[in-house]
Chain A
């Protein structure tokens, strides 16, 4: 039975964790992720979720405990944001290299200094290379759906999986959403069985160290296995869609038929960008939107397909790679570099530290990008523009 409910993003995620019958939760509070841990604590306290909740003393320990529990064969969950993800950074590489299917949610947040609890993608960019499957949700329904799928994907391919939600924009906003019942979700996520667990009856050594003669081979094996997760991710989303009626793709397109200009976004601003696209379409502009759902492993093929007829691609970054510009734009450019026919690319940086981006600002970006494109055609250097800055 489908239930339509009004739920805060954080609560929606907690519901997914509960329905997945998670065994161990280990997390440390940080704004804007706090409502997730608080809700999960309540569920455990009320007996609605039969899990061990380890109230660790830091995010470094949160991820370390997840690693231990996962290695012991438990289904595990954690969540963090901004500074917390930075503090657990060292540990994030462990489950991906040791093939432990930890599931995590990041409520994206800016990085200090100056301190900011509000949303941007600086924390995401700092953990690009950790070897986790990473995906973006744009609204609370997606946050729930993708978290459910994350368990299934992680445990089948044996790679940790992280769902990114925009801090506050999703974590603290109440939206209508459809909640499946517990049995439906339980049926979608089979019981977790790792082929090698820490078990005295079958002792294995995990985390041995690698001298130069073998380290590269371990990394090659990891990269090959990681790249090969694409098909399983898509199959899982397809199966989820068939069961629950909502389908997800690595790269999602909005009004891209015949679009010559495309906006490129990730996360909650995609919905604002859609409104801008609608308005521009009404003005007769051939504009569409490309939203990246799957961030890692990067969906090269789907992305190249999406832009094949685009002449101008406008990329919005919500982080700064100091001395390099927008990190997502750098990736987008490198993904398209080998193509014979590729669009001009204009980059903007905006929405830092919780600053909103309005429909008008998206429309401004499209207009400005067309001017900048002319400069590109003339062979001039075009700098990345930070939008909405008071000078």
Chain B
């Protein structure tokens, strides 16, 4: 989705109001902070955001300051979806009892890293989706526990170096394949699931708006390039997000009421080597290992295309 003269149009298409205030403490080139900024623009002000422990929380809420210009709460690492359930239910009950005007427009949003989502908070998320609370969940997927120092998560890709999946004589780093979290969410049959990336800001914001307007649970997994943890140059965040989509490593799609749609269809995938070689976390990979990953990525992409009915 290239827009000609984007710099001229963008300010007209997107609000210049920053609900995630500048001055936060993220590393240079942090894709996660950028994603949060875009997401907040799309969310608008009528939201309550519940955030998990992790980089997003740490960079934004050092007492006595806050980056949040919207109603915001953080409590623990693994309970975002349960806290959102409570906030939403609290409003529901109070509206019904006339303690809050029934017409008051409030939306409920959960933010979690990949660790908070795919590992320690999976149960709470599954419970909240199954119960059908009206909320949007955004998973900021930087593919490891970054806040605690680049430890592997179940969302870390095969072959990546992390501090708990180190490269050694008997290890190539992460030895398991990235958990397919969006598919797990789809299995809950919730009305809206999507993947997105701040490298495609308009697509990201459109998806956030769609998720927000959905009645019932909605889930968006947002690839968030982390120069610190990925061992890449901080000025490559946008580029890497694009390459992740273009190589098929992180395909962009939506699942609306069970119907798959590729939002960024690629007739031809770029070789994943172009993506891997820019990141220090993959620099030890042999050609054989890269070949193995290439095969898997292609297989997965074909399956996804089939689901979306794309030839």
Chain A residues with CB under 8 Å of chain B are 21, 23-24, 26, 50-52, 54-58, 60-62, 64-74, 76, 90-91, 94, 98, 191, 198-200, 202-211, 214, 218
Contact = CB atoms under 8 A, between A and B. Distances in A.
B74 A208 contact: yes
Contacts of B82: 56, 60-62, 64-65, 68
A173 to B, nearest CB: 32
B87 A207 contact: no
A312 to B, nearest CB: 46
B63 A23 contact: no
A209 B90 contact: no
Nearest to B51: A207
B124 interface: yes
**Which of B46, B79, B90, B100 has the most C-beta atoms of chain A within 10 angstroms of its own C-beta?**
B90
A52 B71 contact: no
Interface of B: 45-48, 50, 57-58, 61-66, 68-76, 78-79, 81-94, 96-97, 99-100, 106, 123-124, 126-127, 130-131
Contacts of B94: 23, 72-74
Contacts of A54: 85-86, 89, 131
Given A90-B76, A91-B75, A58 B90 contact: no
28 contacts: A23-B90, A24-B89, A26-B85, A51-B93, A52-B92, A52-B93, A54-B131, A57-B123, A57-B127, A61-B85, A65-B86, A67-B75, A68-B50, A68-B84, A68-B88, A70-B86, A71-B83, A71-B87, A72-B90, A73-B99, A76-B90, A90-B76, A94-B75, A198-B71, A204-B71, A206-B74, A208-B61, A209-B63
A198 to B, nearest CB: 5
5 closest cross-chain pairs (CB), A and B? A68-B86, A72-B90, A57-B127, A74-B90, A65-B86
B75 A64 contact: yes
B75 A52 contact: no
Contacts of B71: 198-200, 202-204
A207 B90 contact: no
Contacts of A214: 63-64
Contacts of B74: 206-209
Contacts of B96: 50
A58 B66 contact: no
Contacts of B72: 203-206
Contacts of B57: 209
B66 A56 contact: no
A64 B76 contact: yes
Contacts of A209: 57-58, 61-63, 74
A94 B76 CA distance: 8
B73 A68 contact: yes
A207 B62 contact: no
Contact of B78 (A60, A73, A206): A60
A204 B72 CA distance: 6
A205 B66 contact: yes
B97 A66 contact: no
B17 to A, nearest CB: 13
Nearest to A74: B90
A289 B98 CA distance: 49
Contacts of B130: 57
Given A54-B89, A57-B126, A198-B48, A65 B83 contact: yes
Contacts of B65: 208
A60 to B, nearest CB: 6
Given A50-B93, A200-B70, A210-B63, 19 more contacts: A21-B97, A26-B89, A52-B89, A57-B124, A58-B127, A65-B86, A68-B50, A68-B82, A71-B73, A72-B86, A73-B100, A198-B73, A200-B45, A203-B45, A205-B66, A207-B61, A207-B73, A208-B61, A208-B64
Nearest to A217: B63
B91 to A, nearest CB: 6
B124 A64 contact: yes
A76 B92 CA distance: 13
Contacts of B84: 68
B62 A208 contact: yes
Given A198-B73, A208-B74, A72 B87 contact: yes
A67 B90 contact: no
**Which of A21, A56, A71, A205 has the most C-beta atoms of chain B within 10 angstroms of its own C-beta?**
A205
Nearest to A57: B127
B124 A203 contact: no
Contacts of B100: 73
A341 to B, nearest CB: 46
A29 to B, nearest CB: 14
A50 B48 CA distance: 24
Nearest to B74: A207
